[in-house]
Structure 1
């Protein structure tokens, strides 16, 4: 279940040259991800494929036009000059809103599909999820604080350069400095995930085909953030603001070539979305 949502999230990223490929092959990709966590029988796969067809139709008709509107508005803002911290935060907020809309739409169908799982499948799912988290924690523990920072800087540079093209040494140093200012959230996020997964497992093992259980599970799926600690929520808020400030600072250092590169990448996404909507 969590892996299904993660696969759908690929669509919301809508970044890079693989956007159209990912979207047009989403049904296959979701099955591929899901197979790492739980083996569905033939009847379950039939139910899942039927729901998946409905999700894709809804997403193409209802959500993609909203993403397109947001990207076109972003492109216009970028073309007019420097964006403010508030404008970037509004961009982030709209993205979170799209994710919330997706969860709200999927939750009732996922609750129905959950009723088809066996206890063995439920146990297999959460064993796999815990194994994945332990692996992430072990990999992180193998790194020193400095190595973690260097990895974060490398990842952030890679993400930014997908949009800007190659950054110069001064720009890279500035990104490294900004990266140091992000608040750590790893432990709090792992605790949040375990809390949510524990409740999801508990509910799935006591699943009943009645409205009370169904509404409770829908609420769990659609609003997982209620399991976030106050510490994590505050850190995430601070990091979003910090990231917005970083983007404003970076913009002042961009060359005209880099600015054109960003607009080209945004336009490529707009073109991809336009093509997908028309299919």
Structure 2
């Protein structure tokens, strides 16, 4: 769950936002990937821990579906309204992002006690394996995102964004393609600060887990999961603000350049996401209660 919600926090663009939304239905059908953070990528938990976690996940999912999902449907309604009226503005995007960040914080706060309890039950071998997985993650991301030349990084960022946009809008016209390329170029060496901040957070997390029996451990984990921005490096804080602003500007321009067919396709895709959410059994049960 946290992985998906973290992505929702960054949905400054329709391509990225809706790409994240489309994975929610899959997540609800696969409880093993809906965890407080990307724990499955970094930690090998035993059978007893898995059983405990699955039970907690069911409780968290029930809470999330009945108390949070209705708000997501309202959020999608507002998103559709912006597009249908062709009123995609910087102010509107800032409002949608603020709403998403609030939703993330609420969910992160809800699952933090379970995260604390699980982490406190880890043995030293599991913690060592987690730290090695963090190091492996760092090497992998540096290889993928930092080793290529800056020109190649910009090119790959451009291609990734155009691919996402094409999925939601259909083929981009020449003006839109040029605008995406300009956006990617403007971001420059963004990958450097992003990965450096990720490593910084992982080090803080590892340091906290190393002292998981200390009295202040629950508060440290809450800060790491709920108030992550307070731990950002100064360089990344500045880079992220710029990235958000550039993303908003990009999509305001792209929607201004969009055709009626592109907007119709986008609205249809959003409606599909909304239907997936509305059809969740837990949500239907909540409405009938």
* TM-score in same-fold range (> 0.5): yes
Aligned residue number for residue 269 of structure 2: 265
Distance 1:36 1:264 in 2: 34
Query: 2:123 is matched with which residue: 118, 121, 124?
Result: 118
Where does residue 177 of structure 1 map in the other structure? 182
Partner of 1:222: 226
CA distance in 1, matches of 2:66, 2:155: 42
Tell me how large the CA RMSD over aligned residues is. Answer: 2.4
In structure 2, distance between residues paired with 1:18 and 1:217: 29
Structure 1 residue 238 corresponds to structure 2 residue 242: yes
How many residues align? The count is 274
Q: Which residue of 2 aligns with 1:6?
A: 3
TM-score after normalising by structure 1: 0.88
Q: Equivalent residue for 2:82?
A: 77
Unaligned runs of 5+ in 1: none
Counterpart of 2:96 in structure 1 is 91
Aligned-residue offset at 1:30: 4.6
| Structure-to-structure mapping, 1:248-263, within 5 angstroms | 248-263=252-267
d(CA) in 2 for partners of 1:252, 1:89 = 17
**Normalised TM-score (structure 2):** 0.85
Pick which of 170-179 and 52-61 moved more.
Answer: 170-179
2:203 to 193, 198, 202: 198
SS of corresponding position for 1:181: helix
Give yes or no for the alignment of 1:144 onto 2:149: yes
**Counterpart-to-counterpart distance in 2, 1:66 and 1:222:** 19
Contact 2:34–2:57, Cα closer than 8 Å, also in 1: no
Q: Does 1:128 align with 2:137?
A: no
Do the aligned partners of 1:85 and 1:244 also contact (CA within 8 Å) in 2?
Answer: yes
How far the C-alpha of 1:64 sits from its partner, in A, is: 0.9
C-alpha distance in structure 2 between counterparts of 1:45 and 1:176, whole Å? 45
Task: Quote the Cα distance in structure 1 between the aligned partners of 2:114 and 2:156.
Answer: 38
Contact 1:7 1:29 in 2 (8 A): no
Per the TM alignment, residue 35 of structure 1 is displaced from its structure 2 partner at its CA by 4.8
How big is the shift at 1:111?
Answer: 0.4
Q: Is 1:153 equivalent to 2:158 in the alignment? A: yes
Inter-CA distance 14–106: structure 2 relative to 1 (3 Å threshold): farther
More RCO (CA 8 Å, sep 6+): 1
For residues 4-43 of structure 1, the C-alpha deviation after alignment (integer angstroms, 9 at most, x for no partner) is 7436657986648964651332313358x75543222222
8 Å CA contact 1:115, 1:209 repeated in 2? no
1:45 is matched with which residue? 50
Q: How far apart, CA to CA, are the structure 1 residues paired with 2:119 and 2:42?
A: 14
CA contact (8 A) 1:37 1:128 kept: yes
